[in-house]
Amino acid sequence: MGLRPRLLGSEPATPLGRRLRDCISKDVLMVRIAVRVIGFLATAALVLISAADGAKHKHKVFGLGPGRTGTDSLKAALEELGFGPTYHMQEALFEVAGISTAGHLATWKRAGDGEQIDWDNFLRDWPSGCDFPLSAFPEELLTAFPAAKFVLTKRPAAEWYRSIANTVCQSHGTTLMDTVRMIPFFPFNRFAEQIPALDAMIRNKFAPGVAEVQSWDDLCKSEIFAVAAYNAWNVRVEALIPNSQLLVFEVGKHGYTELADFLGVEQPSKTYPKLNSAAEFQKLLVGMRCVAVAVYVVPCSALLFVTWAMLRSGRSKGSKTD
């Protein structure tokens, strides 16, 4: 009679087999326990990471300084500290962060004219924001986000006016820039929407107490009225926002030390950014003007070429007939 194989799981016939079975059983049990422990620790780690991330972003951060008070630098700093992406005029015009802002400038105009906006939904993709047009709505932002923190970037009023006069004011009311606004595709078509939004915001939000300032151009034309509006704005913001939620950030003096401490995050080792100087803005304007010139030159050149080609063709046919 032949030998039959022993069924799996049956009792081993020898003491060595039984000891081997016991060792394997213990090893399998330990592996199972280890897997469960590792799984538990991994889950706990994910929970802690999520909790830490949620704590870091439990409140939004908004800059309330107008344009040309270091808002580009503040945007970069907030993103470095983990509060990005940061809403900014750059986003409304160019979608730098890759998030669609189509229709935003029309929404900002409506908000500037007093229409109620669903701020929570409108800013759902943005943990932070600064610069016009967002910075012109402190009351609305404080009401919509009562736990938010606010940063008022400040510089001397006369210095601020010189900065806008040498930069953003030069992008308004010129033939070349008006031409750029007529280009019907992104991002140039956004500039046509920008002016009405800025005018509504300046008139009703930034300088409501200065009757002589009803538009962005009015702000640019008079240093006296612009400085009056700027100083009144800073007083208003400091009176509105609770001290515990407001950092008055002096441009050129303060940096990551003050900002990181205010936001309760670790201070980076790098230097606080210094972006979008007047010289850099002038380069941007040169580029925009080149685009405007191209809008004129290219069609005109094409028309001249076609006219020349037709005339040449006509002369050639005429000489053959003669």
Q: Is residue 9 part of a domain?
A: no
Q: What is the CB-side half-sphere exposure of residue 134 using CA atoms within 13 A?
A: 29
Q: Is residue 317 part of a domain?
A: no
Q: Is residue 321 part of a domain?
A: no
User: Phi then psi for 142, rounded to 5 degrees?
Assistant: -65, -40
The Cα–Cα gap between 137 and 135 comes to 6
Q: Is residue 24 part of a domain?
A: no
Task: Tell me which residue of 147, 141, 161, 166 sits closest to 66, measured CA to CA.
Answer: 161
Q: What is the pTM for the complete model shown? A: 0.74
Q: How does pLDDT run across 220-262, given as a tens digit for each residue?
A: 999 999 999 999 999 999 999 999 999 999 999 999 999 999 9
Q: How does pLDDT run across 132-171, given as a tens digit for each residue?
A: 999 999 999 999 999 999 999 999 999 999 999 999 888 7
Q: How does pLDDT run across 68-115, given as a tens digit for each residue?
A: 999 999 999 999 999 999 999 999 999 999 999 999 999 999 999 999
Q: Is residue 49 part of a domain?
A: no
Domain count for the chain, please give it.
Answer: 1
The Cα–Cα gap between 152 and 241 comes to 10
User: Phi then psi for 129, rounded to 5 degrees?
Assistant: -165, 155
Residue 263 makes CB contacts below 8 A (sequence gap 6+) with: 61, 81, 83, 149
- CATH number of the domain enclosing 207: 3.40.50.300
Computed from CA positions of residues 79, 84, 85, 86, in that sequence, does the dihedral angle turn out positive or negative? negative
Q: Is residue 20 part of a domain?
A: no
Query: Hunting for tokens 């020898």 — which residue is that?
Result: 14
Q: Is residue 245 part of a domain?
A: yes
- Which domain, by its residues, includes 214? 61-300
Q: Is residue 219 part of a domain?
A: yes
